[in-house]
Amino acid sequence: MHKKLGIIAGGGAIPQDLINFCKENKRDYFVIAIEGNADKALIDDSIPHAWIRIGQAGTGFKKLAEEKVEEVIMIGTIKRPTLKDLVPDMRTAAFFAKVGMKSLGDDGILRALVKEIEGEGMTVRGIHEVLPELLIKKGVLGKVKPSKQAKEDIRRAAEVATELGRLDVGQAVVVQQGLVLGVEGIEGTGELVRRCGDYKRKGEGGVLVKIRKPQQDMRVDLPTIGDKTVQAAYEAGLSGIALHAGNGLIVNEKETVKLADKLGLFVMGIDPAEFIRQREK
């Protein structure tokens, strides 16, 4: 007998994949949809749900308790919140005061949030524990393959991204011809790629590499790409995208890879450590 699942849903189509899984397997579930992020077209009246702002953790916890939820999965993209979104209820204000928001990066905040949820008597699960097939597999996914230069750039980006991750800064790096064009900060991957288009050199395009931070909890904020990432990479003049195999997600994988093929970009899953070792040889 499966325990009732709480789905904290951000943006993108992956929350819908999880909802469909629950329906097909007759598993009880309840959705907490994050305003300004979760797709209103996907969360309709046929789905048991409640909408909350990011700053309404108290409301969310109360609703999950009322629904007798025992396990929770946080899934979907979250935009950088506005000041209005962040106005906290009392429960959220207490959480912010406890963890010291200024002293933590994204990963630290998420680890603290997991601890807070589990302190409410629920168990946090990762999407990989329920739908492991959503994780990107190792290798080239579409028809376009990376060139020798692109592979060298992937290796360089994997090195930089690994160190970035250790510092809890970001998951993504753009490298062209061995030169780091940009690293992900607060702006997110889309803005990083657009910014790097202005710095691109003449010659073969660069690569976007996204990997999971070394200390990152697999249950939250896995590196993710989708059709918007591919479109942004194309407009910036990049050659392709490499994502951490077994640790990253592709939103609407089939359609995303189809778009990459159409635009002439490669999409591949990589083992970052393996690429780094190849550079050291």
Enumerate the domain spans of the chain: 5-132, 135-280
Confidence of residue 220 (pLDDT cuts 50, 70, 90): confident
CATH C-level class of 5-132 = alpha beta
Which residue has better confidence, 175 or 100?
Answer: 175
Work out the pLDDT band at 185, boundaries 50, 70, 90.
confident
- CA distances (Å), origin 26, targets 5, 131, 192, 265: 11, 15, 41, 39
Which of 80-89, 158-167, 173-182, 234-243 comes out lowest in average pLDDT? Answer: 80-89
The answer, yes or no, to whether residue 88 has pLDDT greater than 90, is: no
pLDDT for res 203? 87
Same fold, 5-132 and 135-280: no
Q: Alpha-carbon distance 95 to 91, whole Å?
A: 6
Which homologous superfamily does the CATH classification assign to the domain defined by 135-280? LpxI C-terminal catalytic domain (3.40.140.80)
Q: Is the pLDDT of residue 125 over 60?
A: yes
Residue 156 has pLDDT above 70, yes or no: yes
Q: Which of 40-44, 78-82, 232-236, 252-256 shows the highest mean pLDDT?
A: 232-236
Q: How confident is the model at residue 53 (pLDDT cuts 50, 70, 90)?
A: confident
Average pLDDT over residues 94-115: 65
The pLDDT of residue 272: 94
pLDDT of residue 216: 83
